Amino acid sequence: DAKTTQPNSMESNEEEPVHLPCNHSTISGTDYIHWYRQLPSQGPEYVIHGLTSNVNNRMASLAIAEDRKSSTLILHRATLRDAAVYYCILRDAHSGAGSYQLTFGKGTKLSVIP
52: left (phi over 0), alpha (psi -120 to 50) or beta: alpha
Cβ–Cβ under 8 Å, residues 37 and 49: no
7 binds another protein (CB under 8 A): no
Give, in degrees to the nearest 5, the angle at Cα 66 between 105 and 106: 10
109 binds another protein (CB under 8 A): no
Q: How many positions of this chain bind another protein (CB under 8 A)?
A: 25
**Binding segment toward another protein, per CB under 8 A, in 3-11, 20-28, 30-38, 63-71:** 30-38
Q: Give the torsion sign (CA, 46, 81, 83, 18).
A: positive
Residues in the chain: 114
Q: Which lies closer to another protein via its Cβ, residue 24 or residue 34?
A: 34
Q: Which lies closer to another protein via its Cβ, residue 65 or residue 102?
A: 102
3 binds another protein (CB under 8 A): no
- In angstroms, the CA 21 to CA 8 distance is 11
**Binding segment toward another protein, per CB under 8 A, in 8-16, 19-27, 69-77, 105-113:** 105-113
Q: Which residues bind another protein (CB under 8 A)?
A: 32, 34, 36, 41-46, 49, 91-95, 97, 99-107
